Every structure is written in C-alpha cells, then in structure tokens.
Amino acid sequence: MRTDSRPFLHLCLACLALIALAGSPFAHAADGSRTIAIGVLGHDQGPASDHHEHGIDLNLEAQFAPLDFRGTPRPHLGATINFIGDTSVAYAGLTFPIYRHKNWLLDGAISAVAHDGPLHKDRENCRQNSDCGYGVRVMPRLGLELGYRLNDKSAISLFYDHMSHYWIIDAENEGLEHAGLRYLFSF
C-alpha cells in the first residue's frame, strides 16, 4: 500500500496543468472536437491480471482534437485513481480509431504511464507468488475500447487497459490491468 501520496499528487497536478495548456495546440486539426471520458474500472482485473491489488477505480480522461496525419490519432491525458491505497496511475499518449460502423466504435490507445505503486517487493514472494514490484516508475500502457454512440455527442463503452514493461526493461514487472465501463462526451 502507498504510504506517501505527495509525489503522485504532484504528478496529477502536472497532468491537470498539461490538460489546461494542451487545448490550444491540438485545436488546429480539421475536427476540433474534444472528448471527456469518465469511467468506473475494476482494479487489477483482466486476462493477464494476478489479482494482487483490489478496488473499484475512477478513470478520467481528456481526448483532444485529432492530429492531422495518417490514422488521425487523438492525443489524450488521463488518470485512474484507486481509493483504497493500491496503485493509481496518470498517463499520456495517443488514441487511434480502429473501426467505425454506424453507431459502433473501436479504439486502441498507446501511452506512457506513471504510477505510485511499489517499485520493489520481497524478492522471494515475487519469485514464488508473482507478487512483485513494478520495477520502474514510468512504463508503456496499451488500451482498447469498444463503444456504442448514443447520439452525436455521447457514447458508452467497455474499456480495458494494461500497463507493463515485460520484454522491454529488465526489472521486476508486476503489471496492472483495468477493465470496466466508461461514458464519453464530445464537445
């Protein structure tokens, strides 16, 4: 469990400042719309999860106007907050539209994520029970979202993300997954 949340609080404040500053540069794309996502996610839930952490997390994300190049990715900034003392994260990256058909949407995301979880845990428990630390403070994050557009401005979705540095960095690698529901509002 987290004992000192000040570094993560500073990280969250920095992300909020970036959100406030980022609106202007991203607004030059042809599609000036932005999206706010709010979600309720199961903590450490997913196909690769070891279920060592718990809780229902709040996910907040801002997606900015698409960049003007192939695939039209949308820059995003977000945070997933755990309220019971397990790992919370802040992330920034790109969301790519994979599939659109009538009201259905499928998006993929790639991000860098920073977390406030433990870097290292007991070596023997890590080896025997796969209860390891994260090894590094910042690592890659991948996400997938399947949604249904309710109207021109809003959608609901099933959301999944996974953060891990497996095969990239030689260190402990707890990894973390979230799965749940999100509401998206475009403006």
Domain boundaries, the chain: 6-186
- Check pLDDT > 90 for residue 146: yes
Q: Which two tokens stand for residue 53?
A: 């952490």
pLDDT band (50, 70, 90) for residue 159: very high
Q: Please report the pLDDT score of residue 151 as a whole number.
A: 94
**Tens digit of pLDDT for each residue in 40-63?**
999 888 787 777 788 999 999 999
> Which residue intervals of 80-169 are DSSP H helices?
123-129
- Check pLDDT > 80 for residue 131: no
d(C-alpha 160, C-alpha 174), whole Å: 17
d(C-alpha 121, C-alpha 75), whole Å: 34
Chain mean pLDDT for the chain = 83
Q: Please report the pLDDT score of residue 105 as a whole number.
A: 96
Mean pLDDT of 109-135: 82
- Check pLDDT > 70 for residue 117: yes
Nearest to 112 by CA among 81, 141, 145, 136: 141
- Check pLDDT > 80 for residue 130: no
Question: What percentage of the chain exceeds 70 in pLDDT?
Answer: 78
51-69 core/surface letters (b: 16 or more CB in 10 A; e: else): ebbebebbbbbbbbbbbee
Q: Which CATH number is 6-186's, of 2.40.160.20, 3.30.43.10, 3.30.565.10, 1.10.4100.10?
A: 2.40.160.20
**What are phi and psi for residue 182, nearest 5 degrees?**
-135, 150
d(C-alpha 145, C-alpha 61), whole Å: 13
Q: Please report the pLDDT score of residue 136 as a whole number.
A: 87
**Contacts (Cβ under 8 Å, ≥6 apart) of 101:** none
Q: Please report the pLDDT score of residue 50 as a whole number.
A: 73
- Check pLDDT > 60 for residue 181: yes
pTM above 0.85, yes or no: no
